[in-house]
Amino acid sequence: MTSDERRAAALANQRAAAFIRFQLLGDHQAMQILLSELDDGGQLGFVTALASIAGSTATQAMGREKALNYLQVVAEQSAILAGAND
């Protein structure tokens, strides 16, 4: 990994952690500002960092298998809701 790639990954982790913190604080304006500052290249890094933090947190809180089961249920229920006709 090059130093530019390390820098980009560190910035993505910083933004993802800030985004999660703003979510916990209910600061939706800060979340929106943070998201609006992302360029196309930064979006993938941000989403990857966000998923990494969420996965680590879920695994620590629930254990690996329960976290995997929970995420599967969320995906399945979201698919059902997305396909529902109003």
pTM for the full predicted model: 0.79
* Domain residue limits at 71: 3-83
Residues 6+ apart with CB under 8 A from 74: none
What digits encode the pLDDT tens for the residues 21-62?
999 999 999 999 999 989 887 899 999 999 999 999 999 999
19 burial level (CB within 10 Å; 0-12, 13-18, 19+): buried
The number of domains in the chain is 1
Residues 6+ apart with CB under 8 A from 1: 9
pLDDT at position 68 is 96
Mean pLDDT value across the chain: 93
